[in-house]
Structure 1
Amino acid sequence: MTDLTDRPAVVLRIGKKWRPGMDADEVYDTVRGWWVIGPKREQCEYAIAVARGTVRGVYQIHSWGPRQEGDRDWQDDLPGKPKWGFDGAPAPELQHLIGRDVSHLFTRGAANPVTYLNC
């Protein structure tokens, strides 16, 4: 699908939550949760944060977990249908992707913020 990485990854569009000048910790806090995402997430080794068609961060995923009481906006989830978030760390081997234009991954007008690569 792309030459970004040959490893299983999920591209997560952080769109309106991103702003110029965000540091690496702010990008991570934004992208790590919360998503309507299916079981395919478990196949993904990396999460790629994208805003305005550009890679803003790349993280190795350590684990996924459902949003729970006490998490940001947890009360907005439908009963039995939690949103998901991941714990991870920056992926040094893929940091060269930051700043790369990946707008070709998204069809014009596509609303889904989740795109899988190699999954």
Structure 2
Amino acid sequence: MNDPRYPQRSLQYRYFLHNHSAVPTNISDRDIRAVIKSALIHGKSVETKEGKIPVAVIAFISNTYEPSPNSCDGFYEYDWGSPKVMKWTPDEHGVWHSKKAGSVTWINETEFQFERGE
């Protein structure tokens, strides 16, 4: 990330982004596996002044299949090792809110059970 407002190497984010989840209206096991793959390649977290930030996946969702600037209606967020999958959506005033969208139970570093909460 190159942001001239901050000293070089002071910002570190590790998100794996993709347009829409494997299932366009929900997050899937495949999306969570993307976090595993990224973590195994790049590490599970980055160290910042605020502490460790885990690798995460952001899966954008749409309530319509029309390709337009307004077709993205929110996103799912999952942080490595977290027991919760969160869904973020804006209200009518553009304020973003989150709610729990599922639970992840880790069996080991590469196996998990995922239960949708919606």
- The alignment's TM-score, normalised by the length of structure 1, stands at 0.31
From the two aligned structures, give the one with the greater helix fraction.
1
Structure number with greater Rg is 2
